Chains A and B, each alone.
Chain A
Amino acid sequence: MDFILSQLAGFGTAFVGLAVDPLTYLYLIASVFLGITFGALPGLTATLAVTILTGFFGNKIPLDYSLIALLGAYVGAIYGGSYPSILLNIPGTAASAATAMDGYPLAKAGRGGEALGLTTTASFIGTVIGTITLLIFVWALLLVSKNIASPEKALLALFGILLSGTLMSEDLVIKGWIAGLIGLAMSMVGLDPLLSEPRYTFGWSYLMSGFQVVPVLMGAFAIPQIIDGLRHVEAGKVLALKGRILPNLRSIRRYLPTIGRSGVIGTGVGALPGVGEDVAGWVSYGVGKTVSAEGNKFGKGSLEGLLCSETANNACIGGALIPLLVLGIPGSPPAAALMGAFKINNVIPGPTIDPEIILRVVAILVLASLTMFLMGLFTARVFIKILAIPQTIFLPVVMVLTTIGSFSVGGGINDLYLMLGVGAVAYFMNLMKYPIAPLVIGVILGSLFDETFRRSLFLSDGDLSVFFSRPGAAILLVLNIGLILSQLPVAKRAFSRLKGLSV
């Protein structure tokens, strides 16, 4: 009890500190607005919003304001994806794909206002559930993580890359792993972290410091999106919004169990390293369909189905920040962009992170979700108008934003060449259905993996048993091996046979 009270007191201090600063509101309103706009425009994603703002705000303003801008955009964009899902039947972001299943039929039936109002409320409650979980669990995990040494860190980084590769693959799982390995390989460029041995620099001094995170993020997430999005798409007909947006308390109370369950699922999925909001939305939708009394109505305009995915994808935000803050392993692709922002501000997320930063992150998330809630309820019609803007107008401006953001982070023109090169690779990977998130997570975690893996070997004089003689390392090693083995065709066949037997 004392622990919870002290946590709440710390959170209260951070919250008041931010709330009394007028600049907080300027950054909050601007970033949440921008985030919702990015989410609402099909073709622009939450990851792109956070990535672009990382380049723009990353290290140019005090860390608090930078975090407000990035977290505000993150929260706003995940929520904003629901607008085109409900009114156009086109998911604004991958995270809202499940939302369209029930949102659009509801809008067609003249219940668009009700759907949007409840979605806004559920997204708000979902974000708060994720944030409270973050506030409570991050400390418990931080205590545990203090006992984590190099072998565990190396295996955990590997697990994050493997898990992200496994769950983010649209086609073959092996493609996700290859993407992760390409990311790891990219992180090997430059001076090695222990002996300063130059690796793959080809005599180019720029490469001595390795690939910078921001240009890689920009290249991987923005360039393919721009190339892919610049095509003429007939703007879909936005359904007229009927009914009042402000939800009544009775319907909120009625759907509270669904919102609560979906919030917990979303937070749990978000806490898995490298797994994003889209997976959270689908998992929650699937669970809802199984356990709900009106499961047979899912996909035909069920409010419960709508709330399952929308609550979970926003709750995922808090969850995704848990592994990021505790272990330095991003829980989702936008969290990977956030990690980039931390890095360029010389903040190293992980067991040694300043606890004040965690409290401020929690306070910012609460403020951002409140701003999103109010904007969603009272300015929804502005965002509906934004749905009519063609991508061909918006994406060229995004390209210019990306360029100046990438340039100004520090490396100058070389960073732009790197961004373009990574963008070309990412575009072809997209074309061949390789997921991009494991690549970025590989680049971000590569140096951690390299350093901790080799430090483990240094300290044990090359004795590989260091990776299974410690209990934590042994568990992680089993998880890594189990994850790989579970994807082998033999294992998959055995699983499906077992499933058949149990039925």
Chain B
Amino acid sequence: MDESDDTLIMRARDFWASIGLIAISTFFLWKTSDIPLWGENRAGVSGSDWYNSAAIVPLSIFGGLLGLSFVLLAISIRSGGAQNALSALGIGWDKSEAYRASTIGLMLLAYVVGLVPRVDFILCSGLLITALTYGYYGGHARRALVACVAVVVAGLFAFAAFPAQADWNARGDDWFTLALWVALTLVVLTKAASERVLRFVPLVAILAPLILVCAMAFVFRQNVPARGGLIFKQIEYHYYVTLRPLWKD
């Protein structure tokens, strides 16, 4: 693919991006109308002038964004972007790249939305590290799918079984995640004989989140996710009950 092809693809993408931007800026311009612009009382301040309004800067920003979006649309149409915009080839659709990015995206979504709030941080991060490394080292599409399924199933289970915040300390999802992590680690180890790098994955997957969460909780004394998690609760208990008295007393 030469440079002119790249530019054509970019202009086709710009065509869709500009339409998206026009829609978004129009929506927010409409939403800005919720903010009083002329003469109302605002936060106890009576203002009858436009320059008192909290809407004035957002109006300029979204107005500017709308204007620039139209300019981008014009540029893309003039450069032939609109003609190519409807064909997959025109927008540079790459199936393998879309597969790669979407599986990673799904894993991150399952991790952040499903696992981190509900499941022990060491367990869910260990699963994520194992899955991401196994899935994308070597560029095997099948492995990426297996890794994605493992994280997404764990995330979906946690999300569906314990949707309410009151239940986030429950242990069922911790055990389920642990089981998936162990299973995935076994799969990784079967491949480790031929791929040396994979031998280190279980070690990294255990140590990295363990060190991070302990440093954050006990060295910097910060809040960490899922304090009531299966492993962290034990660590916290033994830190305060068994270890700390050793130097405190």
Contacts and interface: CB of A to CB of B under 8 A. Distances in A.
Contacts of A194: 54
A188 interface: yes
B112 A200 contact: no
A432 B224 contact: no
A172 B75 CA distance: 10
B197 A432 contact: no
A268 to B, nearest CB: 30
Interface in A109-159: none
B57 A454 contact: yes
Interface stretch (A96-104, A300-308, A320-328, A456-464): A456-464
A420 B35 contact: no
Contacts of A453: 57
B152 to A, nearest CB: 15
B14 A403 contact: no
Most buried by A among B10, B14, B51, B69: B51
A181 B56 CA distance: 15
Contact of B129 (A178, A397, A419, A432): A397
Contacts of B121: 404
A199 interface: yes
Interface in B1-49: 10, 13-14, 17, 21, 28, 31-32, 35-36, 42-43, 45, 49
A424 B113 CA distance: 14
A97 B36 CA distance: 50
B128 A396 contact: yes
A397 B65 contact: no
B163 to A, nearest CB: 13
Interface in A392-407: 392-393, 395-397, 399-401, 403-404, 407
Contact of A178 (B13, B65, B200): B65
Contacts of A419: 112
Nearest to B144: A230
A357 interface: no
Nearest to A403: B116
Nearest to B50: A462
B54 A178 contact: no
Interface in A436-477: 449-450, 453-454, 457-458, 461-462
A43 to B, nearest CB: 12
A41 B50 CA distance: 52
B206 to A, nearest CB: 12
Nearest to B17: A432
A413 interface: yes
B224 A408 contact: yes
Contact of B116 (A197, A413, A424): A413
Given A178-B21, A181-B64, A195 B45 contact: yes
B161 interface: no
Contacts of B137: 232, 390, 392-393
B185 interface: no
Task: Bin the interface of chain B by size.
Answer: 35 or more
A413 B117 contact: yes
Interface stretch (B186-194, B209-217, B234-242): B209-217
Contact of A403 (B45, B58, B112, B223): B112
Given A408-B223, A462-B50, A232 B136 contact: yes
Nearest to B75: A172
B224 A195 contact: no
B104 to A, nearest CB: 5
B87 interface: no
A396 B139 contact: no
B247 interface: no
15 contacts: A172-B14, A181-B65, A185-B62, A185-B65, A200-B28, A227-B105, A232-B137, A232-B138, A396-B132, A404-B216, A407-B223, A408-B223, A432-B10, A454-B54, A462-B51
Interface of B: 10, 13-14, 17, 21, 28, 31-32, 35-36, 42-43, 45, 49-52, 54-58, 61-62, 64-65, 68-69, 71-72, 75, 100-101, 104-105, 108-109, 111-113, 116-117, 121, 125, 128-129, 132-133, 136-139, 197, 200-201, 204, 208-209, 212-213, 216, 220-225
Given A195-B43, A195-B45, A413-B117, 14 more contacts: A174-B72, A181-B68, A188-B57, A194-B54, A199-B35, A231-B139, A395-B132, A397-B204, A399-B129, A399-B132, A404-B216, A404-B224, A427-B101, A449-B57
Interface of A: 56-57, 60-61, 171-172, 174-175, 177-178, 181-182, 184-185, 188, 192, 194-197, 199-200, 223, 226-227, 230-232, 390, 392-393, 395-397, 399-401, 403-404, 407-408, 412-413, 416-417, 419-420, 423-424, 427, 431-433, 449-450, 453-454, 457-458, 461-462
Closest 10 CB pairs of A and B: A232-B139, A462-B51, A197-B54, A60-B220, A396-B132, A457-B51, A192-B54, A408-B222, A392-B137, A396-B129
